[in-house]
Structure 1
Amino acid sequence: VGIGQELRTGAATDNGREVVLGTVFMLIGENSRVVSQAVARRMEEINRTLPAGVEAIPVYDRTVLVDKAIATVKKNLLEGAVLVIVVLFLFLGNLRAALITALVIPLSMLFTFTGMVHQKVSANLMSLGALDFGIIVDGAVVIVENCVRRLAHARMHHGRRLTLRERFDEVFAASQEARRPLLFGQLIIMIVYLPIFALSGVEGKMFHPMAMTVVIALLGAMILSITFIPAAVALFIGNQVAEKENRLMLWAKKGYEPLLERALGAKAVVATIAVIAVVLSGLLATRLGSEFIPSLNEGDFAVQALRIPGTSLTQSVAMQQQLERTLKAKFPEIRRVFARTGTAEIASDPMPPNISDAYVMLEPESEWPEPRRTRQELVEAVQAEVGRIPGNAYEFSQPIQLRFNELVSGVRADVAVKVFGDDMEVLNETARDIERVLKSIDGAAEVNVEQTTGLPVLTVNIDREKTTRYGLNVADVQATIATAIGGREAGTLFEGDRRFDIVVRLPERLRGDPEAIRRLPIALPPTAAALGPAAATGATPAGGAVAGAGRVGFIPLSEVATLALAPGPNQVSREDGKRRVVVSANVRGRDLGSFVAEAEAALARQVKVPTGYWTTWGGQYQNLQSATQRLRIVVPVSLALVFALLYAMFGNLKDGLIVFTGIPFALTGGILALWLRDIPLSITAAVGFIALSGVAVLNGLVMIAFVRNLREGGATLDRAIREGALTRLRPVLMTALVASLGFVPMAIATGTGAEVQRPLATV
């Protein structure tokens, strides 16, 4: 009896040396940034209590990534706000009017943050990523522009400065005139976000905060537009409002008026060109490709090393240390490489000892010896280098992306083909055929079949006839083997307030020796020990002399069993009650949707799935399918609600349809922009199309509502169209420009998280 150690199921390494690695688990619903900061403070306290020479160092802190992403969002929002204010001043030509309109931004954000706190929505890349100050001030732009125009007309009509009462009356009339289209327009923008609330599962968790934040901001802006803005205009604009337009508007009208005349003179041609543009953009959309969401560049990357099943923990650790030392020596861009091998003490992420999850932490790009080297080029160089190390297969990903993919669909790669059935041999054979086909598809990287076989298994075949002759039963033999190899708890040892299990088992050197296991003594029952097998055969057992009556005798295990070491199953995975084998792959250099489409066609031609077996797609493509199917149902419903509001606004189908046609015409520009920037369709791009639809409808409402007012005043249709188009050119240009320019910083940003916002802003 001696003090031993618990059987090791896992290990940790850091820069080529073995260390102790701890993981902090966050409770559901907590804020990761707050928790990380609290842990950092507690780590400082812990370090003060550690013995000399022992130090606890944080090797991965999610706060770093969160702070970088939030910094990107802050920068984009600030730059967008500046652009919006500049556009307001240039078009209104009145500093006070521009400032009053711009005040909607901070006031609506206060409203938004209050709602976010109430709804327990944290400020992050997703929740703030779709905020566009241009869309937020659209309603205020319409009110302010109409107020300024009417105040200027009234001052010109009276030929003097307006009294306070006259200003109040004009502002009230202007607000009342624009209130109805404004309210309907803002409601429509909020309604078009309803499809996002209909998303479920992972996509719902990701995009619900985004939609919630936008709707709260729009609601606050709408309330401010019909309350604060008119009051502020009446009080602070003053009497220095002139009817003359600034140079920018004069230039815009000078260019727009002849175009308007030509369009009205060739209505059929313009309508035909518009329809052709919509059709062509629809065809172009089919060539864009698709993906769930753009991959967020986390800055660091992860390397999962897979070794032959049955590789011992000691051997895996040695191979992992070699890998880490190689990376540190070859690449000065790498700051730290740490890894987990096998299963930790708290098995939150169980893995066999032949698999290691390595996290490669990089230096800031500004400190790289080759500044022009991109992160992707570095990853490719690392792939080439580790490929020279024998005995390992690799999967490259990112720390959070790796966990995200695994939690969502049970696989760590971007996409996976799951083969379901009963017979493991058939499953493995089919999986190997699928692997061969996937490797031939352009863009496939790290194609691997799940390791289901090849684990060396020591099989003990117990001879039931012999055990019966010795008076034994199979359970007795199995219990002895289990105790000798696996160990059995025999008591508890207390040391202060700590307790340790007392475990009975063979020494480590014997547990791995098949010959020693064959000699394992099996205790005979007292009766059998006294009589021996002579009662049945008349012979003396080969294990030795017969014990006296009442005494226990022993025989070697080899007397009643045979031992065989042969490859066995490494793992058997099930999903929905069925066995399954996964073929995983990462996608590089192309979009996920086109990759899966090409792979599906190739698999249908080249792989014959046996009867009773079937395949499904997993990974991020599974999320894309789920979101797409839901949006196909909800988007038409939302568009129907939009049309219903337009009908309620105008009271007839004709005007409602005219405004509604702005949606497909607006989408053509978004599709063309995505194509020019080589950005595939994604859920974030869909959010951009949703916002674009709302702005298009708002502009149409402003224009058609004014034309209808002119018609009701007795103007002919052509005159009403010309006058309405020219008069409302300024608010239409302003609402469109502030909405689009507010997204420009997001569209061209390069910081952390910019990849996620780029499709939305580009649209």
Structure 2
Amino acid sequence: MRLIETSIARPVATSLLMLGLCLAGLAAFLNLPAAPVPQIDYPVISISASIPGASPETMASSVATPLERRLGQIAGVTEMTSSSSVGSTRINLQFDLDRNIEGAQRDIQAAIAAARADLPTSLRNNPTFRTANPAEVPVIIISLTSDRLQIADLFEVGSNILQQKFAQIEGVGQVTVGGSALPAVRVEVNPQKLSQYRVSLESVRRALGATNYNGPKGAIVAGDRRYQIYANDQSRSARDYHGVIIGYRNDAPIRLEDVAEVVDSVEDERNFGSSNGRAGVQIQIYRQPGANFIQVVDRIKALMKPLNAALPADAEMHIVQDRTLTIRASLHEIEMTLALSIVLVIAVVFLFLGSVGATTIPAVCVVVSLLGAMAGMYLLKFSLNNLSLMALTIATGFIVDDAIVVVENVVRLLESGAPRARAVTLGARQVAFTVLAMSLSLVAVFLPIMFMGGIIGKMMREFAATLALAVLVSLILSIAAAPMMCFRLLPDETHRGRSRLLHLCESGLDRLKTFYERSLRVVLRHRRIALASLFVLMGVNYYLFLIIPKGFFPVQDSGRMRGAIVADQSVSFPVMKNKLDRFIAILVSDPGVESATGTIGGGFGPGGSVNVADLLVTLKPLKERRLSAEKIVAGLRPKFAQIAGAQLFLQSVQDIRIGGRPSNALFQYTLLADDLDALRQWAPRITDALRRNPALADVNSDQQDKGLRTDVVVDREKASRLNLSASQVDNTLYDAFGQRQVSTIYEPLNQYHVVLELAPKFRDSPKALSDLYVGTGGGGGTERMIPFAAFTALNPGPTPMQINHQSHFAAVTISFNLAPGKSLSDAATAIRETMAAIGAPAAIQGAFAGTAASYQEALASQPFMVAAALAAVYIVLGVLYESFFQPITILSTLPSAGLGALAALLLYSTDFSVVAMIGVLLLIGIVMKNAILLVDFALQSRASGEDAEAAITQACSMRFRPILMTTLVSIASAAPLAIGSGEGAELRQPLGVAIIGGLCVCQLLTLYTTPVVFLYIERLERLFARSRAAVAPSPIEG
């Protein structure tokens, strides 16, 4: 090849080009964004609407359903889910991955506008929407606490000042504030005094509504001066409302203070936040797509110092959860793993080649290839994450192979006495095609991954592309740079000056080679048995694949946990608040827990329900706590069980989470029905049956239909005689019990509300309805007051606390974790068997959701991925060798590799996950390299006139050393992944275990089976050639 001679003739140019590539790689490394996993833009949009005080059924029927009808007509929607709770509805639309998100937003805006006429008039504001990422979690969570300030004041500081300041930071996306509500003026009415003064709640509401007005007043121009007109049309505090006139009686004014107590409080009293036992508000900060996690958090921390100094006295911000701590630790661990892999690879090469000069060549190629791959990653807008760094780590074993093959062949020629220039040129030329075939076949293995669809394809594409970049850079270096370095660095006498250890290694290799040559001759004499054993291996592979436990991605111990406290659905807010404090006290008392933060009424989760408190728990670093998150939770469960009437669900936050509803466990199974009553009847039965299954743990559902309700049954005939309408009744109830916002106070930084309801002692029991009056006719002070008892009856009963829909159908999502020692495939089987045994009607349909659904998709695609990889490799090898049959010889190495990988995973109790599957695909490329080394040399010998058996025997003898070296190098690169124990090790271990197991078994078996298959393929090719010659038409004689 011309490139070989050029690189040898121009060492300075070659060296400078390598240096430039290194500098580009270093610059890329310093500028690549850091992330736990590759950035995936999920095309999900969330629509929210609220009517304070409205029941879940009201929100579902009057808000969710009209919106769903319009939104469901948008093109490209793959899934539509909604959740309606007290006062709020949230609808999530998931689109095709290729759907343009800006276009989807325009369609949603049009659908909301079309649905506006069908929405209730009590929906004061239009539904809002935003782009949402179901897998995204806050990069940092900050708690704002104070020993003296009221929590409403803290919330005001958080929403008016801190939220705005943090949102202005480069790279920051959404900023949310939870744990309380904005300050408000609350008017707490005494219904008995209203009746006494003959004033209705409607009159109070109208009077309060007219209290605040922020309209234009105009200006006065007097000569050369202009005076802007202002008026005291804003009542800003509770004392400003005491004198508000709500009516007249006997010409005497009736003031608000006569019938109500007016207090400065909050908009919603049923919101609460706690951080390590201290009341406070929580600020959750999300990053923009593609922003660097670490840089964003560093900017936030830098801004916190001046903001803390500017806070009101005694108020303080402190970080309760910093996602970058585990990202930094995980990236540090994988970087150390990468460095260790490089060291181990170079050490193995040194033991085989025996000289510093010879070892330097593959070492330089490894470093330059990795840096070149990083430069390519930067151009492709990749990030430094667990998967891309894992690809670079495992690539160290691949990319060194090309240089090893070149160096080993040159060293062999030098040792045979060839002149340096001839040895380098001829040695590189002899193996150039081999190196090309090895690299292109390895890249071909990655093609199915790079073109794989769906979320998994997008996530693993970065891994595959990074590996392909490293291999291609290595290919170029092995042909262009390695010959130049061989010419300059290899000693004339490679054995001179070797240490005793190297001589021992050399002697051991010679003895091992001699044993192999003898045993190979025995195998070739019994080649039919060897060929039959290959088919047996295929059967064993199939059997192991059937029985091995299968999973999605390994469950990570990220040091961060999310959870929920679920209490009785009829629990009151004060009781729930007490339970939250008790659970947090138990959590922070554990030595492995750093902090625990919780909210009631919305904050970290979908929120809204009083009986559900959301929790965030931060664990101490692994090196400090020593126990896994699972063991910490298991140790705390007996203490949690002592709190009656509530259950705590905790799960580790995963870097890889795909779709699904927010839930209390990692995996989800959704029940759908067009009959809500049937769903309410069967969902608890199915949940209980699954809870008894030993393969599942922490089984729970989002069905909340056991709340308490009071039906106000209006006698319409009596109401008509009393001149009362349904709207008057509803408005009176809403005024009394709905925390109704009846007026808006306009301030420079925000808008605040006046909230109307009965005083607490008049709304603590359903009997309070008996003390309620509705007024008819006249104005305040002259109305006819009619007690509710005169025309209504009260019927108590159950009510849903939350209503969920999916694709227009009523839905209940059952979430679960895996029992110890069980895999996701075990859980899926258990659920299918339970559903078949319980005999649910056909109207109840079940399907996996979220991560569990993605697991099923990944499981179904695994055979296709293997078949596609084999097809791609076959085509590449067939093109390179111009043969239909020789690729089969190379592919015959795969059964032994699969056997080793599956057996190793079973031995180490590791699920066959997506990561393990990638390991098996990589094995296809690795073990083929060894076969290519044999086949290529044998084919060259055949072209020189050698018979098939002599050619393959000589190839096995001559290539034994480089094959053993490349195999050990690959094992050395995978070993740190398999034995690692730091942050993120769970994600990396299956890859290392699969590769090491596959290589060990493959090395033992394919050195015997490949020569046997080669001989049979050679015989088949001869038969094919004869038959083709026999049927070929005779030339036409002229």
Q: How many residues align?
A: 724
SS for the counterpart of 2:287 is coil
1:50 aligns with 2:302: no
1:102 aligns with 2:363: yes
Q: For each residue in 1:624-664, what CA deviation from the matched residue of structure 2 results, as whole angstroms up to 9, or x when unmatched? A: 11112233334322311211111112222221111111122
2:141 alignment partner in structure 1: none
Residue in structure 1 matching 2:633, options 379, 387, 403: 379
Moved more, 192-201 or 636-645: 192-201
Residue in structure 2 matching 1:270, options 524, 530, 533: 530
SS for the counterpart of 1:396 is strand
The structural deviation recorded for 1:348 is 6.8
Paired with 2:690 and 2:594, the residues of 1 have a C-alpha distance of 34
Q: For each residue in 1:104-130, what CA deviation from the matched residue of structure 2 results, as whole angstroms up to 9, or x when unmatched? A: 222112212112222222111122123
2:558 alignment partner in structure 1: 298
2:900 alignment partner in structure 1: 669
2:612 alignment partner in structure 1: 355
1:431 alignment partner in structure 2: 683
- The within-5 A match list for 1:548-627 is 552-600=783-831, 602-627=833-858
Paired with 1:262 and 1:45, the residues of 2 have a C-alpha distance of 79
The structural deviation recorded for 1:238 is 4.6
Matched AA of 1:141: I
1:281 alignment partner in structure 2: 541
Residue in structure 2 matching 1:148, options 392, 400, 411: 411
1:251 aligns with 2:511: yes
Moved more, 246-255 or 671-680: 246-255
Residue in structure 2 matching 1:124, options 380, 385, 397: 385
Matched AA of 1:557: F
1:640 alignment partner in structure 2: 871
- The within-5 A match list for 1:372-451 is 375-400=629-654, 404=657, 407-451=659-703
Moved more, 577-586 or 233-242: 233-242
Matched AA of 1:609: A
Q: For each residue in 1:533-580, what CA deviation from the matched residue of structure 2 results, as whole angstroms up to 9, or x when unmatched? A: xxxxxxxxxxxxxx99xx654423333433444221122211111111
SS for the counterpart of 2:397 is helix
Change (3 A) 1:11 1:119: farther
Change (3 A) 1:205 1:482: farther
1:543 alignment partner in structure 2: none
The structural deviation recorded for 1:263 is 1.5
Kept after mapping to 2: 8 A contact 1:101/1:141: yes
1:30 alignment partner in structure 2: 291
- The within-5 A match list for 1:385-534 is 385-400=639-654, 404=657, 407-525=659-777
Moved more, 304-313 or 95-104: 304-313
Q: For each residue in 1:81-134, what CA deviation from the matched residue of structure 2 results, as whole angstroms up to 9, or x when unmatched? A: 111001111112232121111112221122121122222221111221233101
Paired with 2:548 and 2:771, the residues of 1 have a C-alpha distance of 68
Paired with 1:45 and 1:554, the residues of 2 have a C-alpha distance of 58
Matched AA of 1:685: A
The structural deviation recorded for 1:498 is 4.0
Matched AA of 2:346: I
1:343 alignment partner in structure 2: 602
Kept after mapping to 1: 8 A contact 2:622/2:983: no
SS for the counterpart of 1:24 is strand
- The within-5 A match list for 1:164-183 is 167=421, 169-183=422-436
Structure holding more strand per residue: 2
Change (3 A) 1:150 1:171: same
The structural deviation recorded for 1:519 is 3.7
Matched AA of 1:478: D
1:137 aligns with 2:400: yes
1:708 alignment partner in structure 2: 939
Matched AA of 1:316: M
The structural deviation recorded for 1:496 is 4.9
- Structure 1 unaligned residues grouped into runs of 5+: 530-546
Matched AA of 1:216: L
2:887 alignment partner in structure 1: 656
SS for the counterpart of 1:325 is helix
Change (3 A) 1:400 1:349: farther
Paired with 1:233 and 1:78, the residues of 2 have a C-alpha distance of 25
Paired with 1:364 and 1:28, the residues of 2 have a C-alpha distance of 27
Kept after mapping to 1: 8 A contact 2:348/2:965: yes
The structural deviation recorded for 1:388 is 1.9
The structural deviation recorded for 1:29 is 2.5
Paired with 1:178 and 1:207, the residues of 2 have a C-alpha distance of 32
SS for the counterpart of 1:4 is strand
SS for the counterpart of 1:689 is helix
SS for the counterpart of 2:930 is helix
The structural deviation recorded for 1:513 is 4.6
Residue in structure 1 matching 2:476, options 196, 218, 223: 223
Change (3 A) 1:18 1:399: farther
Paired with 2:516 and 2:569, the residues of 1 have a C-alpha distance of 72
1:74 aligns with 2:335: yes
- The within-5 A match list for 1:319-330 is 319-329=579-589
Change (3 A) 1:120 1:621: same
Kept after mapping to 1: 8 A contact 2:805/2:811: yes
Kept after mapping to 2: 8 A contact 1:309/1:451: no
Paired with 1:138 and 1:610, the residues of 2 have a C-alpha distance of 60
Paired with 1:31 and 1:108, the residues of 2 have a C-alpha distance of 25
Paired with 2:367 and 2:647, the residues of 1 have a C-alpha distance of 53
Q: For each residue in 1:196-220, what CA deviation from the matched residue of structure 2 results, as whole angstroms up to 9, or x when unmatched? A: 2344444234322222221222222
Paired with 2:281 and 2:831, the residues of 1 have a C-alpha distance of 45
Paired with 1:720 and 1:554, the residues of 2 have a C-alpha distance of 110
Paired with 1:456 and 1:757, the residues of 2 have a C-alpha distance of 49
Kept after mapping to 2: 8 A contact 1:291/1:680: yes
Change (3 A) 1:201 1:643: closer
Change (3 A) 1:365 1:289: closer
Change (3 A) 1:24 1:102: same
Change (3 A) 1:383 1:721: same
SS for the counterpart of 1:59 is strand
Paired with 2:772 and 2:685, the residues of 1 have a C-alpha distance of 44
SS for the counterpart of 1:36 is helix
Identity %: 25
The structural deviation recorded for 1:16 is 2.7
The structural deviation recorded for 1:619 is 4.5
Paired with 1:202 and 1:409, the residues of 2 have a C-alpha distance of 17
The structural deviation recorded for 1:151 is 3.4
Paired with 2:269 and 2:662, the residues of 1 have a C-alpha distance of 25
- Structure 2 unaligned residues grouped into runs of 5+: 1-240, 242-261, 995-1038
1:240 aligns with 2:499: no
Kept after mapping to 2: 8 A contact 1:37/1:63: no
Paired with 2:271 and 2:962, the residues of 1 have a C-alpha distance of 65
Q: For each residue in 1:231-267, what CA deviation from the matched residue of structure 2 results, as whole angstroms up to 9, or x when unmatched? A: 2222332533469993343233123211211121211
The structural deviation recorded for 1:583 is 2.4
Residue in structure 1 matching 2:976, options 742, 745, 749: 745
Q: For each residue in 1:430-467, what CA deviation from the matched residue of structure 2 results, as whole angstroms up to 9, or x when unmatched? A: 22332333233223211223332111223333333333
Q: For each residue in 1:114-170, what CA deviation from the matched residue of structure 2 results, as whole angstroms up to 9, or x when unmatched? A: 1222222211112212331011212222222222223333xx15xxxx3xxx61x44
SS for the counterpart of 1:740 is helix
Matched AA of 1:146: N
Paired with 1:601 and 1:55, the residues of 2 have a C-alpha distance of 52
